Amino acid sequence: MPEIPVLTESRRIRSPRLETRVLFSGPEDGVPVIFVHGNLSAATWWEETMLRLPAGFRGIAPDLRGYGLADPRALVDATRGLGDFSDDLAALMDELGLARAHLVGHSLGGGVLWRFLADHPGRVLSLVQVAPASPHGFGATGPSGGPAFADGAGSGGASVNPEFAKLLAAGATGADSPLHPLSVLNSYVWKPPFVPARIADILASALAQHTGPKAYPGDAAASPNWPGAAAGAWGPINALAPVYHPDPLAFTRVAEKPPILWLRGAEDPVVSDASLFDLGTLGQLGAVPGWPGASVMPPQPMVGQTETALAAYEAGGGRVTRVVLADCGHSPYLEQPGAFDRAFHAHLAG
């Protein structure tokens, strides 16, 4: 396994579902706050945020299945949507003796937490969603919000640029082309010209992502629908395919509704209503020829879908706080830690 420098305490934890690296900060008897990272990422990304937690809180950040220093033999069954990740978190909490916790998710991790709240509502003290994936999944949704095509064409592993996947698998550390992992991070995952102080460690943890046809980018299936390939059955990107999210609003119907903080950057190009990683957007821009049009696959309104879901959550009695940070991209906790912490710590105090 690769070496990834740490600022916090690192342990290997084995639950009945997964053995993985888990990072810890704060007192062992503190109120637990579990941080769930996104794609092209690992627990490392949360370390500074964990170390800034207010007194009395215990930071906990696992490497998800398929990422970082998690057991590479543990695969993601994409046909369950994000269910493998949700079940892994519950098993980790059981292993650590935690009945409930505050949960914080970023990007893919936010998508995991929509599912976790639906599956395990009694275990959530509160939810912090940082630029979360839409509850509907990621990419290639139709006008109704479900998958544009019944086979999931245009989403999942089929939507990943193969050259980027090749460079990631090779562990490329340079920035010679826009498709090198470092170039993608610096162009899209935070707003230029910002670069995190720990960019070397952050890149190392991104390059530790598990790769292959059953990991990243996952498999794909031939399809008669545009763009000619559909979501496969394995890996975290396929797990985000809308075709595997048949009940995206399930979390809005839980009886016990913990408070939610939704925090995002105003200039996020990844999770947006015109995401540059969604084939609906790229087709509309003419970057991918043959687009079937907005009546079939419009740009996925990711922010709008989340807003609609959270409005339903509020209508059912839930409490939601919305914070949008100006001049900020996809990673607010890295880009604007002061503003992020003010909203985050106030949420924990409440």
pLDDT (tens digit, 9 = 90+) per residue, 255-271? 999 999 999 999 999 99
> Given a cut of 90, is residue 2 above it in pLDDT?
no
Spell out the domain ranges in the chain.
9-349
| AA identity, residue 192 | P
Structure tokens at 315: 């209508």
pLDDT reading at 119 higher than 70: yes
Are 105 and 62 in contact by the 8 Å Cβ rule? The answer is no
Q: Please, what is the average pLDDT of the chain?
A: 97
pLDDT at 229: 97
Exposure string for 236-266, b = 16+ CB within 10 A, e = fewer: bbbbbbbbbbeebbbbbebeebbbbbbbbbe
Residue 202 is predicted with a pLDDT of 97
**Mean pLDDT across 56-84:** 98
* Rounded mean pLDDT, 145-154: 97
Q: How far is CA 187 from CA 35, 45, 291, in A?
A: 24, 17, 25
Share above pLDDT 70 across residues of the chain, in percent, rounded to a whole number: 99
Beta bridge partners of 217: 212
Cα→Cα distances 239→31, 80, 234, Å: 31, 7, 7
Which position has the token pair 């903080």?
261
Give how far Cα 245 sits from Cα of 82, 141, 238, Å.
8, 11, 11
User: What pLDDT sits at residue 1?
Assistant: 58
Q: Is pLDDT of 59 > 70?
A: yes
Q: How far apart are the first and last CA of the chain?
A: 40
Checking if the pLDDT of 145 tops 70, the result is yes
pLDDT on residue 75: 98
- Residue 3: the pLDDT is 78
Averaged pLDDT for residues 125-149: 98
CATH architecture assignment, domain 9-349? 3-Layer(aba) Sandwich (3.40)
Give the mean model confidence (pLDDT) for residues 71-83.
98
Tokens of 210: 């598990």
Question: Cα–Cα distance between 331 and 328 in angstroms, integer?
Answer: 8
Q: Is the pLDDT of residue 180 over 80?
A: yes
pLDDT digits (tens, 9 = 90+) for 29-46: 999 999 999 999 999 999
Q: Are 137 and 79 in contact (CB under 8 A)?
A: no
3-state DSSP helix/strand/coil % of the chain, to nearest 5:
35, 20, 45
